[in-house]
């Protein structure tokens, strides 16, 4: 999460100074709805690996020149016990009878000519695309691990970036990067290229999620903030979750499924012109006039008259030393453990996420 950029008294003063806006006017409703919309593509792609990397039924391919009948081809695969089916005998997925000894079914060999995949469920997945089965099957769980490694990395860097460049810029910058990364990923020519892009996509996705969450929490009032950060975020993220199997049902090719994800992300880009920057962040950067413009526009939308001066209390941000007020202190993730109260909240939240 982004490092804090203002002290407790400033936050309290901000809520008091903007209380005249009310809690649930047209401005707040628009911010809540549009920010929540941006969570749908995140939910849509969060577990996309379930369908992108699913393993279709498969068996060893036989050389085309043998010209065997379907019955002979079926009998060329030895039967093995399947632990997932209570020991039932199923065709082997990783071996076949040696071609030269096929008539007496005496010896086995690996899938020297590749694999035949069942296309009744999927037209294509990354598993069937790059033969991620048998001795290459370790690449499938590694794909998932690298994706969530990107989630971890993005969780650390997103806060620092949004503190430096602003909530809105980082949010829509990462949405744009997701669209571009997904577009490139569609044309992946190897598994390595795919997983590198998948890692980057995870960094961008969680950055978008976290920064949008913080942006909403900083713009909205205390009561609506609670609704947005619980029911709003979770419900719209769940909408994306439920749309994922629907997408995968109608689109059975992994590349075309990625096209759908890219288009879903593209729909969110025009929201840039309707979602404002965080006034709290602007105040922390000393950009008081810009913050006041946003609040006055919000008041106009809510049909409320704003006071002549809104942020009279604004003072310079934390200084390095108490006696020197001109030096702005740069905050980082270590501040989450610096004071007892914040340390307790941080540890509690980390445990909740882990559980």
Residues 155, 296 within the same domain: yes
In a domain, 333, yes or no: no
Q: Chain-wide mean pLDDT for the chain?
A: 81
In a domain, 65, yes or no: yes
The predicted structure's pLDDT at residue 286? 82
In a domain, 355, yes or no: no
Residues 19, 99 within the same domain: no
The mean pLDDT of 233-241, rounded to a whole number, is: 91
Work out the burial of residue 303: count CB atoms within 10 Å of its CB; fewer than 13 is exposed, 13-18 middle, 19 or more buried.
exposed
In a domain, 262, yes or no: yes
Residues 91, 217 within the same domain: no
pLDDT band of 144, cuts 50, 70, 90: very high
Residues 202, 265 within the same domain: yes
pLDDT in tens, 311-344: 775 444 433 344 444 455 666 677 778 888 888 8
Residues 281, 308 within the same domain: yes
State the DSSP string of 171-199: HHHHHHHHHHHHHHHHT--SHHHHHHHHH
In a domain, 9, yes or no: yes
Residues 298, 189 within the same domain: yes
Asked if residue 310 has pLDDT above 60, the reply is yes
In a domain, 240, yes or no: yes
The mean pLDDT of 14-42, rounded to a whole number, is: 87
- Nearest alpha-carbon partner for 256 in 129, 141, 120: 129
Between 321 and 254, residue with greater pLDDT: 254
The predicted structure's pLDDT at residue 243? 92
Structure tokens at 37: 């919309």
In a domain, 242, yes or no: yes
81, β-bridge pairs:
89
Structural domains of the chain, count: 2
| Structural domain harbouring 35 | 5-53+139-314
The predicted structure's pLDDT at residue 64? 61
pLDDT band of 345, cuts 50, 70, 90: confident
Work out the burial of residue 232: count CB atoms within 10 Å of its CB; fewer than 13 is exposed, 13-18 middle, 19 or more buried.
buried
Residues 10, 90 within the same domain: no
pLDDT band of 274, cuts 50, 70, 90: very high
* Helix/strand/coil (H/E/C) assignment for every residue in 33-94: HHHHHCCHHHHHHHCCHHHHCCCCCEEECCCHHHCCCHHHHHHCCCEEEEHHHCCEEEECCC
pLDDT in tens, 160-210: 888 889 899 999 999 999 999 999 999 999 999 999 999 999 999 999 999
The mean pLDDT of 67-85, rounded to a whole number, is: 61
In a domain, 328, yes or no: no
Residues 155, 303 within the same domain: yes
Residues 85, 160 within the same domain: no
pLDDT band of 230, cuts 50, 70, 90: confident
Residues of the chain with pLDDT > 90, as a percent, come to 35
Residues 164, 214 within the same domain: yes
Residues 77, 209 within the same domain: no
Residues 32, 174 within the same domain: yes
- Tell me, what CATH number does 306's domain have? 1.20.1250.20
The predicted structure's pLDDT at residue 117? 84
């Amino acid at each position: 999460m982004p490092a804090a950029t203002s002290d407790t008294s400033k936050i309290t003063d901000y809520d008091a100074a903007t209380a005249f806006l009310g809690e649930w006017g047209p401005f707040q409703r628009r911010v809540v709805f549009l920010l929540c919309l941006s969570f749908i593509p995140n939910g849509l792609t969060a577990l996309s690996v379930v369908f992108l990397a699913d393993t279709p039924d498969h068996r060893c391919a036989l050389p085309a020149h043998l010209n065997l009948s379907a019955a002979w081809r079926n009998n060329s695969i030895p039967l093995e016990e399947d632990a997932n089916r209570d020991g039932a005998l199923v065709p082997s997925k990783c071996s076949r009878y040696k071609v030269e000894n096929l008539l007496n079914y005496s010896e086995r060999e690996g899938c020297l000519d590749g694999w035949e995949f069942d296309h009744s469920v999927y037209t294509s997945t990354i598993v069937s695309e790059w033969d991620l089965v048998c001795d290459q099957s370790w690449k499938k769980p590694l794909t998932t691990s690298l994706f969530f490694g990107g989630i971890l990395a993005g969780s650390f860097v997103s806060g620092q970036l949004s503190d430096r460049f602003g909530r809105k810029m980082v949010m829509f910058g990462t949405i744009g990067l997701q669209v571009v990364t997904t577009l490139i990923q569609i044309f992946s020519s190897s598994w390595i290229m795919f997983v590198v892009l998948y890692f980057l996509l995870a960094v961008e996705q969680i950055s978008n999620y976290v920064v949008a969450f913080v942006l909403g929490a900083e713009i909205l009032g205390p009561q609506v903030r609670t609704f947005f950060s619980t029911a709003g975020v979770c419900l719209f993220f769940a909408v994306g979750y439920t749309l994922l199997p629907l997408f995968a049902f109608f689109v059975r090719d992994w590349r075309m499924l990625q096209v759908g994800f890219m288009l879903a992300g593209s729909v969110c880009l025009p929201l840039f012109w309707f979602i404002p920057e965080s006034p709290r962040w602007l105040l922390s950067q000393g950009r008081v006039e810009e913050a006041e413009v946003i609040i006055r526009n919000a008041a106009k939308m809510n049909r409320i008259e704003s006071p002549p001066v809104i942020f009279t209390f604004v003072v310079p941000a934390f200084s390095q030393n108490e006696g020197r007020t001109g030096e702005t202190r740069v905050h980082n993730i270590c501040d989450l453990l610096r004071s007892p109260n914040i340390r307790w909240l941080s540890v509690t939240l980390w445990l909740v996420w882990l559980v």
